[in-house]
Amino acid sequence: MSHIIAIAADHAAYELKSEIADWLRAAGHEVLDLGTDGPQSVDYPDYGYKLAKAIADGEARFGIALCGSGIGISMAANRNPACRSALVSEPLSAELARSHNDANVIAIGARLTGPEMAKVCVERFLATDFLGDRHSRRVDKLGAPQL
């Protein structure tokens, strides 16, 4: 099944972004590339916000957020209540992010996770369905925090 997938990265992850985007296109997915496209220093929150907006606006079903560690861009993306970004570094966390947490974005650290492992994480993420049931109640609470 093909999807529209948004992908965004800062300068530390632009090479990984390009590799993953090309790989996704070759697999038949439509890729919404939100930048950045070079080594010039940029601010990861700007790209996390762009990615989250694309998800919230329905431009893409899933997103891939990339920065040096994956942490900062994930935090930025999660500022948008429509975005459920999970930092992953191996396939089991990618699978659980989808099946238990209905994540619609995965974040990967380009300085911590190599391209082949990143692709395995993306592949598992896209192949996994949300289980619903008892997990739905918990996911619903993510969009409506009781502070």
Question: From the candidates 3, 11, 83, 100, which is the catalytic residue?
Answer: 100
Strands 4-9 and 62-67: parallel
Give catalytic status of residue 29 as yes or no: no
Give catalytic status of residue 100 as yes or no: yes
Give CA separation, 127 vs 1, 113, 130, in Å.
9, 20, 10
Question: From the candidates 11, 67, 83, 121, which is the catalytic residue?
Answer: 67
> Coil, helix or strand for 145?
coil
DSSP, res 17: H
Residues sharing a CB contact under 8 Å with residue 128, sequence separation 6 or more, in sequence order: 94, 95, 98, 99
Q: Rounded to an integer, what distance in angstroms lies between the CA atom of residue 109 and that of residue 29?
A: 22
* Enzyme catalytic residues: 67, 100
